[in-house]
Amino acid sequence: MVQNMPNFVTPFPLESAQELLGIYSSPLYVYNGSILREKINHITKSIPYPHTEFQFASVTNGNVSLLQIFQECGWGLHANTPGDVFLGLKAGFSPHKIVYSGSNLNCQEFVQLLNWGVTTFNLDSVAQLELFCDIYIDKFAEKLTAETKPKLGLRLNLPKLTGESRIGVRPEEFFQAIKITNAVGLKLNGLHFYRGTGTNSTKAFTQVIETILSTCQLLQDWEYLDFGGGFGYPYHHNRMAFDWQNFGRELTAAIEKIGRKIKLIIEPGRAAIAGCCTVLTKVISVKWQGDKQIVGVDTTVANLSVPSVHGGYREIVSFHEINKSDLYLTDVCGNTTYSRDYLGKNCQLPILKSGDILAILDTGAYGYAMSSHFLHRPRPAEVLLEKNQHRLIRQREDYNVLLNSQIFS
């Protein structure tokens, strides 16, 4: 964790925070629908290429009420697992607006996706492609129409661009993949490129565009490019942020040079949803270790993303009106005995007392989605703010959730 620089802007007034916690209790995930819609609109308008489709990467957040906002804004859904597809269908997405890009599905899972009506698949290996084609010819070829016939793509593995990765198929495997799909009357229509998780460098994306487009043209039946996700979010508000306009201009110009219509798929996840959510938490205890303030709160790191996977830094602010001279080095600690249960280390916060409210910002991505029952704490509720109204979009768990699916005498 990195020292948290002072930020005196809270996401809403103290009175609103008190009202929300008074109704829904603490801790609490609070999503702002207006902020989410503004970000969706910003990203959508940033890419002028006319044949672009946006798919929200629901791995970052699977709350159905939030998925419905993306659906209302004209986006589709990018699914990594059958569970993503299940939630997307519940949110009202047409299966034709869902793109599956995942790894290592078994036979039953592929059958389930095809029965649900998913038509676009970006597959992770030649072995997965072969399994899919076997299932297709055995169970679906005779009953699917031209409109419901699958479009197949490969997840692309180019070590010179992304380094060594377990994900994807290398260009030297394309010939074998094309042979497999042609044998069952299907075509290899697209490629899926994934730059990496949480990348804020715009250049990291723009400098590989030409290479990706050249690789796509190795496919004789190329129809679409899924330029993937991995687009970052500036959790450190004073640091580099991804430049969507620059990315959109360069990508559009490069595709238009090809001289034929290609469908472009963009699948933001974290970049779209991270900034619309705040976790509200109450201070439970305060102690001092020398000049450092140790603040214990009523939530836990188990309610945020796994630090080793998606980063441990989230900006934490208080609702006190303060001057910089009133700030103290502070560790914000969770309510478990896990030695690494820090919500924030070396934060700059005022002197706090029991009952004070803190706001953990930018928790919309990989927050609830990666929360767990570690050390047997039930998970918080989720609330959506829309048009000066608030409503519950996920109930707070109670201890009975810890018994779900257990069998005992």
Q: What are the residues facing 163 on neighbouring strands?
A: none
Q: Does the pLDDT value for residue 80 go beyond 70? A: yes
- Give me the domains of the chain, ranges plus CATH numbers: 14-30+274-403 (2.40.37.10), 94-268 (3.20.20.10)
For residue 1, is pLDDT > 50?
no
The HSE-up count of residue 240 (CA atoms within 13 Å, CB side) is 11
Find tokens 């094309």 and name the residue: 178
Sign of CA dihedral 63, 64, 68, 71: positive
Average pLDDT over residues 330-344: 93
pLDDT digits 0-9 by tens, 245-282:
999 999 999 999 998 999 999 999 999 999 999 999 99
Q: What is the pLDDT of residue 194?
A: 85
The CA distance from 94 to 88, in Å, is 8
Q: Between 221 and 304, whose confidence is greater?
A: 221
- β 52-57/263-266 pair status: parallel
Q: Please tell me the predicted confidence (pLDDT) of residue 307.
A: 66
